[in-house]
């Protein structure tokens, strides 16, 4: 029984910290490799789009950034629920580590969307369902960061942040289905696994870029969660040992 | 294999250069800056925590438990 694989073991920062450190470079390397392959396919090989000309190439970063902005929020809401239900230390660290990356992804989604909307729709911004709900997602990220930063007691900050995350999660399906539920300027989904409307090189380029963004987000979040773990666990034996070791390197 | 005829064509992006490179440029900037900021935060955090631990150790030395 003692040797049985125990998932709860990884919830302990003392175990997760070195594990995250070992995994982080692999995710970073995967992000670079997928990114180079995706850029090569998307920017150099893929043909032009018959409707949008070369302007469509913004899709290779716009869609991955938008997916990640929604997915990271869902992961944060998952950790928030775990944290509220089981009172685990790791969940608050995870949400704190993911939030800045999620906010940046939401910003990139809006930024690249504006730079795509201007030539195609003739405007940087419209208050339509898809764009507005994505803007609300950015505000939810910023709200989470501001709220948790404003509360000195870390455990209370985690709890308040977790509540905000769970209330805000309703926004994610609204973003996702907005192009179906409302009449909007925003085009529908281009990726359909049964019958895609995209050329094969375009589709592969986009999937590779999505993998790149995915790996990037994991690598950055792992690196950040390690710093947060040291900050929050500084009085534990493992953190003291780690700090002593980190000093020997520098 | 390569779709473009010249570097100039690639940069011009069929007249969409401003929009394509405006998107890719800011994305590249963000995705380069964020890891740098995290690395810097790690460095400053470790330095700060080590200083705190040293200070705590010194106070403990000066005032041994009664």
What φ, ψ does residue A196 adopt, rounded to 5°? -80, 145
Which are the contacts of A138, defined by CB distance < 8 A and separation ≥ 6?
A69, A103, A106, A107, A110
Cα-based distances in Å from A160 to A63, A81, A101, A153, A204: 31, 12, 20, 11, 41
What φ, ψ does residue B65 adopt, rounded to 5°? -60, 135
Statement: residue A164 has pLDDT above 70: yes
Tokens 């992006």 belong to which residue? B13
Pick among A53, A58, A60, A122 to test the B interface (most B CBs inside 10 A): A58
Average pLDDT, rounded, for chain B:
90
Name every chain A residue with its beta carbon within 8 A of the beta carbon of B34.
100-101, 104, 220
B19 to chain A, minimum CA–CA distance in Å?
5
If you average pLDDT over residues A224-245, what whole number do you get? 92
Q: If contacts are CB pairs under 8 Å, which of residues 16-55 in chain B contact chain A?
A: 16, 19-20, 22-24, 26-27, 30-31, 34-35, 38-39, 41-42, 45-46, 49-50, 52-53
Q: Three-class SS of residue A198?
A: coil
Name every chain A residue with its beta carbon within 8 A of the beta carbon of B1.
45
Domain count, chain B: 1
Mean pLDDT lowest for which of A117-126, A133-142, A189-198?
Answer: A189-198
Write out the residue range of the structural domain in which residue B27 sits: 18-62
Statement: residue B64 has pLDDT above 70: no
Q: Which of these, A232, A248, A241, A244, lies nearest to A12 by C-alpha position?
A: A232
Complex confidence, ipTM: 0.89
In a domain, B3, yes or no: no
Confidence (pTM):
0.91
Is A231 at the interface with chain B, CB within 8 A? yes
In a domain, B6, yes or no: no
Statement: residue B66 has pLDDT above 60: no
Is A118 at the interface with chain B, CB within 8 A? yes
For residue A227, what pLDDT band results from cuts at 50, 70 and 90?
A: very high
Contact A119 B30 (CB under 8 A): no
DSSP assignment, residue A49?
Answer: B
Give chain B's radius of gyration (CA, Å).
Answer: 26
> Can you read off the two tokens belonging to residue A93?
């660290």
For residue A59, what pLDDT band results from cuts at 50, 70 and 90?
A: very high
In a domain, B2, yes or no: no
Mean pLDDT lowest for which of A75-84, A90-99, A240-249, B1-10?
Answer: A240-249
For residue A239, what pLDDT band results from cuts at 50, 70 and 90?
A: very high
Torsion of CA A123, A184, A58, A37, to 10 degrees: 170
Is A229 at the interface with chain B, CB within 8 A? no
Separation between Cα atoms, residue A88 and residue A189, nearest integer Å:
37
DSSP secondary structure of A99-152: HHHHHHHHHHHHHHHHHHHHHHHS-S----HHHHHHHHHHHHHHHHHHHHHH-S
10 Å Cβ neighbour count for B66? Answer: 3
pLDDT value at position B38? Answer: 97
> Can you read off the two tokens belonging to residue A108?
């990139």
What φ, ψ does residue A49 adopt, rounded to 5°? -90, 135
In a domain, B10, yes or no: no
Pick among B6, B49, B56, B60 to test the A interface (most A CBs inside 10 A): B49
For residue A186, what pLDDT band results from cuts at 50, 70 and 90?
A: confident
Is A25 at the interface with chain B, CB within 8 A? no
């Amino acid at each position: 029984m003692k040797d049985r694989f125990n998932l709860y073991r990884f919830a302990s920062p003392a175990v997760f910290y070195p594990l995250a450190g070992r995994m982080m470079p692999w995710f970073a390397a995967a992000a670079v490799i997928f990114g180079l392959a995706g850029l090569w396919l998307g920017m150099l090989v893929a043909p032009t789009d018959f409707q949008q000309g070369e302007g469509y190439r913004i899709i290779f970063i716009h869609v991955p950034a938008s997916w990640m902005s929604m997915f990271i929020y869902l992961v944060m809401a998952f950790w928030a629920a775990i944290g509220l239900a089981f009172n685990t230390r790791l969940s608050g660290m995870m949400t704190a580590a993911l939030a800045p990356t999620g906010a940046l992804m939401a910003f990139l989604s809006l930024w690249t969307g504006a730079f795509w909307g201007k030539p195609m729709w003739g405007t940087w911004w419209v208050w339509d369902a898809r764009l507005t709900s994505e803007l609300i997602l950015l505000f939810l990220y910023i709200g989470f960061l501001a709220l948790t930063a404003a509360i000195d007691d870390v455990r209370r900050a985690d709890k308040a942040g977790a509540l905000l995350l769970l209330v805000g999660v309703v926004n994610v399906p609204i973003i996702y289905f907005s192009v179906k539920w409302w009449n909007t300027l925003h085009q529908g989904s281009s990726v359909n696994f049964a019958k895609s409307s995209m050329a094969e090189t375009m589709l592969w380029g986009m999937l590779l870029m999505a993998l790149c963004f995915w790996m990037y987000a994991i690598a950055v979040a792992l690196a950040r969660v390690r710093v947060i773990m040291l900050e929050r666990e500084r009085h534990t034996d493992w953190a003291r040992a780690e700090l002593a070791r980190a000093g020997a390197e520098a | 294999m390569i779709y473009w005829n010249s570097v100039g064509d690639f940069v011009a992006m069929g007249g969409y250069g401003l929009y394509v490179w405006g998107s890719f440029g800011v994305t590249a900037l963000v995705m380069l800056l964020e890891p740098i900021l995290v690395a810097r935060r790690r460095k400053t955090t470790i330095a700060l925590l080590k200083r705190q631990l040293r200070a705590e150790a010194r106070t403990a030395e000066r005032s041994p438990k009664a």
